[in-house]
Amino acid sequence: MKILVTGGAGFIGSAVIRYIVNSTADSVVNIDKLTYAGNLDNLADVESNDRYEFVRADICDRTAIADIFSQYKPDAVMHLAAESHVDRSIDGPDDFIHTNIVGTYTLLEEARKYWLQLPAERKEIFRFHHVSTDEVFGDLDGVTDLFREDTPYAPSSPYSASKASSDHLVRAWGRTYGLPVIVTNCSNNYGPYHFPEKLIPLMILNALEGKPLPVYGKGDQIRDWLFVEDHAAALYKVVTEGEVGETYNIGGHNEKKNIEVVRAICQLLEELVPAKPQGVSSYEELISFVRDRPGHDIRYAIDASKIQRKLGWSPAETFESGLRKTVEWYLSNRLWSQRVLDGSYKGERLGLI
């Protein structure tokens, strides 16, 4: 297969591409606008492979997307391009509306035009796989409830509302036009190459510098944590084996309070980096509780039984094993983090600076 991946220079998208190139015989075309979270360093291991190609393009640019479909003739689309940071969506929702809603609409329309003109045998195998989030469901009231594929949508932030909108568009294009769509909703991802503004990498890097570890409120928000490489394997299984028109929830079966996550990171660093920054006697003393985020959801938890039952997928990593791999990766890849933090990743690999 030839798979077109949007947002392939991002955290999850790059994990998907590395998985496809390293673990399958398929080829990949990576479409990415290279906004602040798009980093070609994430793909250094596969960039020279003859089954990988990169095209810098904006999914909202209809002409560019039409040309890409015409030139590369994909067998499937895995749509991961999105603005995804909740805090940024609160400070400035415009980009989220534009990319997540208008961009998805543009991609759907160009995919539909392309799909309609395919010969019957290729039309039959084509898939449009839309990758979404559990945040579209809002949050859970109790301690035992889980998000299921039929849970009503109740987004709380501009980010989750824009993703909910894009989910609805995808399903509408499936029902109205017959486009062969599949939707997945995942829980919180973590792992190598995660942009440093996110919770886990932020805590690791701040701790190594002796900086405060800011935790919203009391840190009692609960998330289900999914190792990104497990997610990538699940997404590939869905696009190749999933049933058209279906939705699959993907979770890690790892519910943790944010404060538990931060303390677990501190404990790993105590073991792996006992030599602390000057003036720091323990990493946990760096924890600082800060004013909570507006509209902060309390608990997310995914029921991933459907994808396990229907497609035979379950996560390979526990939270403990995945977190250890993540911390060890950041310790071994300080240059990657430094290039993100100083901004040099933004253009150097394209010869722009």
Number of residues that make up the chain: 353
**Res. 292: pLDDT tops 90:** no
Catalytic member of 41, 58, 110, 135: 135
Match 């190792």 to its residue by tokens.
227
Burial class (CB in 10 A: 0-12, 13-18, 19+), 71: exposed
Percent of the chain with pLDDT over 90: 86
Alpha-carbon distance of 186 to 224, in angstroms, equals 9
Return the number of other C-beta atoms located less than 10 Å from residue 91's C-beta: 9
Cα 49 from chain centre = 23
Q: Is 299 in a helix, a strand, or coil?
A: strand
Sign of the dihedral through C-alpha 207, 9, 296, 315:
negative
Boundaries of domain holding 140: 2-193+226-253+301-318
Task: Quote the strand ranges of the chain, DSSP E.
Answer: 2-6, 27-32, 52-56, 76-79, 127-133, 181-186, 188-190, 213-216, 222-227, 247-250, 255-257, 287-290
pLDDT tens-digit map of 84-105: 778 888 888 999 999 999 999 9
CATH code of the domain containing 58: 3.40.50.720
Range of lowest pLDDT (26-30, 137-141, 240-244): 137-141
**Res. 349: pLDDT tops 50:** no
Query: Is residue 216 in a domain?
Result: no
94 classed as catalytic: no
Residue 352, pLDDT score: 37
Tokens of 255: 């519910």
**Kind plus residue range of the DSSP H or E element containing 270:** helix 258-272
Query: Is residue 230 in a domain?
Result: yes
Query: Is residue 124 in a domain?
Result: yes
Tokens of 203: 């805590």
As separate numbers, helices (DSSP H) first and strands (DSSP E) second, the chain gives 13, 12
Query: Is residue 44 in a domain?
Result: yes
Q: Is 147 in a helix, a strand, or coil?
A: strand
Contact status, residue 252 vs residue 225, Cβ threshold 8 Å:
yes
Catalytic member of 58, 83, 134, 317: 134
Nearest-CA neighbor of 243 among 311, 148, 167, 152? Answer: 311
Alpha-carbon distance of 226 to 113, in angstroms, equals 35
Tokens of 216: 């919203």
Query: Is residue 11 in a domain?
Result: yes
The pTM of this model reads 0.94
Alpha-carbon distance of 58 to 35, in angstroms, equals 10
159 classed as catalytic: yes
Catalytic member of 105, 159, 190, 248: 159
Rg of the chain (C-alpha set) = 20
Query: Is residue 117 in a domain?
Result: yes
Alpha-carbon distance of 200 to 231, in angstroms, equals 17
**Res. 282: pLDDT tops 70:** yes
**Res. 64: pLDDT tops 60:** yes
Domain count, the chain: 1
Amino acid at 146: L
Nearest-CA neighbor of 232 among 134, 316, 346, 141? Answer: 316
Burial class (CB in 10 A: 0-12, 13-18, 19+), 124: exposed
Residue 347, pLDDT score: 60
**Res. 350: pLDDT tops 50:** no
Query: Is residue 283 in a domain?
Result: no
Query: Is residue 285 in a domain?
Result: no
Match 């990949």 to its residue by tokens.
28
pLDDT tens-digit map of 190-244: 999 999 888 999 999 999 999 999 999 999 999 999 999 999 999 999 999 999 9
Match 């509408």 to its residue by tokens.
172
69-72 CB contacts, 8 Å cutoff, 24+ apart: 69/4, 69/110, 69/111, 69/113, 69/114, 70/114, 72/2, 72/4, 72/29
